[in-house]
Homo-oligomer: A and B are copies of this chain.
């Protein structure tokens, strides 16, 4: 029986980019299915006292993060360009990703958004860009865009964001295993997979 791991990500989040680009390869090797779960980190950070990205509020840590991202992406052979402005507004992208029913299309769209944002330095708030990326990964782009703008879809993204808050999230990406353990960061993908496998065995 295949094990499932939830991959929770925010489109503006820097370390979600390398994680999104490599998680399927990792999971595939261990016959784990990745369930892609877009959410909005902003509301959680505001609940926790931040008014912008912690990397902007703590500039010394922020400077480190940018250098670390350069090194991390270089190790993974991923292009990296620092987004300007940072953080990008990922609301529309998250709504579209939420509206995509098929998990493989959701994953492909999400990776395309991350590449546009962090490899090409494009604005992911741009609806034309998002429509173009969506059309590359699905034949149902028009339908999905209509659904993305619906109140029901907006409410679903809000509900997923509340779930993230209730699960104790404070950053992204986060992997969540079937027993409710959470693993924060691109650094924890391997450990999360190992944990998920132990869930399967027990």
A residues sitting closer than 8 Å to B (CB atoms) are: 48-49, 58, 60-61, 63-64, 67-68, 71, 75, 168-171, 181-185, 187-188, 191, 195
Contact = CB atoms under 8 A, between A and B. Distances in A.
B61 A171 contact: yes
A80 B157 CA distance: 38
A197 to B, nearest CB: 14
Contacts of A184: 64, 68
7 contacts: A58-B170, A60-B170, A64-B170, A64-B182, A67-B181, A68-B184, A71-B181
A2 to B, nearest CB: 23
Given A75-B191, A187-B187, A58 B49 contact: yes
Question: Which 7 residue pairs spanning A and B have beta carbons closest together?
Answer: A61-B170, A60-B170, A187-B187, A48-B60, A60-B168, A63-B168, A48-B58
Contacts of A68: 183-184, 188
Contacts of A169: 60
Nearest to A61: B170
